[in-house]
Amino acid sequence: MDKEFCSCEAYSHEQSLDQFMVGLEKRNPGEPEFHQAVKEVMSDLIPFVKENLEYSETCILERLTEPDRIISFRVTWEADDGSVRVNRGWRVQFNNSIGPYKGGLRFHPSVTQSVLKFLGFEQILKNSLTGLPMGGGKGGSNFNPKGKSDREVMRFCQAFMTELHRHIGPNTDIPAGDIGVGAREVSFLFGQYKRLANEFTGTLTGKSLEFGGSLGRTEATGYGCVYFLNHMLEHADEEISGKTIAVSGSGNVAIYAIEKATELGGKVVTASDSGGFIHDPDGIDAEKLAFIKDLKEVKRGRISEYADKYSSATFHEGRPWSIPVDIALPCATQNEINEAEAETLIKNGVKAVSEGANMPTELPGIHAFKKAKILFGPAKAANAGGVAVSGLEQSQNALRLSWSKEEVDGRLRDIMEDIHSKCVTYGEAETDDPVDYVKGANIAGFIKVAKAMNAYGTM
Ligand code: NDP
């Protein structure tokens, strides 16, 4: 490995986070989201690796931040009016040390290689935390499904899979959904995969129940995020019951986070989309949540329509973090809580934050929460329930079995409890401070992957 690239000798001396980031940014120019995700992780891993030379001697951090490969491809499809459209597709196969690449596909106009590298990098440690044999990957396209007809979405998905299918497989790489890729898109993608590969295998997860999907997968990320929150609160002698909660987003993760938090006695007072947020001081109860499900999952409408329907609610532009609450569950997208919003939440008395979305809190916001001793559950731990149940979907496909919803939910609860314990093991403070869940998740996720990479030798 070129000397400039690998600086492992420096670890045993005084390599700093700044030095590491200078090298990473030079090798990956113009990728701010990827830089941000790596910086957050390395601020915990560099001190850990310095104390554990078995990792520093093999340049593990540089290897971990370099994807195995990135596949980038043209997706040409035809709109309903007969015009030809061109988008770009990617699959970032980041690290398969502990299992086949596993991670979702995102269809959104904001998708870039940088966004997918940040998501793929986070996925390595998240998947490791679940305890299941899954490596890290992510993919997607800058295609915008909003405003497209079903047939346009179908043609896009088929064109996307026509290229992607040669790079994936049940023992190679197993994609799933993410923003803009729900049941409809996974069905189109899986149908095309099956056609081209001429085999019926569990190569995608998040499938519908009729063709190999798992009960409980739709709910898994939102429920898991609330299970993790519950463990953080219990560890601090608190509980969800009676707390007011702000949720952002109104997609897959947000809907089921609202459902579980309400079931456990919390009162969720906000939901949002990219147009703004609704504030309902009476709480989003089961009937109102059914309205949101129908609005978002079937009608593909806007959250502002909630305020037209329920007089208890008001609609506002922007994000929901100015509303005073005990708990915040960011479940929409990356960088949706900045430092000022974190300070506002703290000033208003927030006690806990559990990240349903990936990297929703900017780094200065995380520092503000930590400084204020708020319980902070980072995405790679708090939202790992989705990929965990995807792993269970793969197991069921391989066994040609279907587990009951109760069985899947029981396994999900066990996995979230185990992730919480691992975070406590590596993140518990010696003082009265709360557990540092960011550090705990980073180190616990890292160790398993690093041990595997070392066992394979320097490749
Ligand atoms: P969905 O597409 O179902 O929903 C996304 C929600 O976030 C929508 O309400 C959307 O509003 C809103 N949103 C998206 N982009 C923005 C933006 N730039 N500003 C404001 N709001 C925005 O996605 P998911 O619920 O599946 O995913 C949400 C987050 O959770 C993502 O970060 C994803 O990576 C993460 N995640 C998802 C998992 C899963 O199993 N689905 C697993 C683990 C993590 P609008 O409709 O207006 O675009």
State how beta strands 352-354 and 267-273 pair.
unpaired
Q: Is the CB of 300 under 6 A from ligand 1?
A: no
In-domain check, residue 384: no
CA of 278 to the centre of ligand 1 (A): 16
The model's pLDDT over 92-151, given as tens digits with 9 standing for 90+, comes to 999 999 999 999 999 999 999 999 999 999 999 999 999 999 999 999 999 999 999 999
CATH number of the domain to which 280 belongs: 3.40.50.720
Give the number of other CB atoms < 10 A from CB of residue 344: 17
Number of folded domains in the chain? 3
Of 50, 62, 103, the C-alpha closest to 380 is: 103
Distances (CA, A) of 281 to 122, 315, 323: 35, 12, 10
CA of 237 to the centre of ligand 1 (A): 31
- Is 267 known to be catalytic? no
Q: Is the CB of 274 under 6 A from ligand 1?
A: yes
Q: Is the CB of 177 under 6 A from ligand 1?
A: yes
Same domain, 342 and 273: yes
Q: Is the CB of 330 under 6 A from ligand 1?
A: no
> What pLDDT is stored for residue 56 in this prediction?
80
pLDDT confidence tier of residue 10, bands split at 50, 70 and 90: very low
The model's pLDDT over 149-176, given as tens digits with 9 standing for 90+, comes to 999 999 999 999 999 999 999 999 999 9
Q: Is the CB of 178 under 6 A from ligand 1?
A: yes
Same domain, 441 and 369: no
Same domain, 230 and 367: yes
In-domain check, residue 411: no
Residue 160's domain comprises 69-200
Q: Is the CB of 127 under 6 A from ligand 1?
A: no
Same domain, 119 and 7: no
> What pLDDT is stored for residue 429 in this prediction?
83
Q: Is the CB of 15 under 6 A from ligand 1?
A: no
DSSP of 359-408: S-B-HHHHHHHHHTT-EEE-HHHHTTHHHHHHHHHHHHHHHT----HHHH
CATH number of the domain to which 62 belongs: 1.10.285.10
Distances (CA, A) of 459 to 27, 54, 432: 19, 15, 42
Same domain, 373 and 242: yes
What span, in angstroms and rounded, lies between the C-alpha atoms of 450 and 417?
23
Same domain, 262 and 129: no
The model's pLDDT over 385-395, given as tens digits with 9 standing for 90+, comes to 999 999 999 99
CA of 336 to the centre of ligand 1 (A): 11
Same domain, 62 and 78: no
Length of the chain in terms of residues written = 459
Please give the share of the chain, as a percent, with pLDDT higher than 90. Answer: 92
CA of 428 to the centre of ligand 1 (A): 31
Q: Give the position, in ligand 1's atom list, of the atom nearest the Cα of 110.
A: 18
Mutate to test the pocket of ligand 1, among 121, 253, 296 (most ligand atoms within 8 A of CB): 253
For ligand 1, atom 23: residue with the closest CA: 179
> What pLDDT is stored for residue 2 in this prediction?
46
Same domain, 268 and 128: no
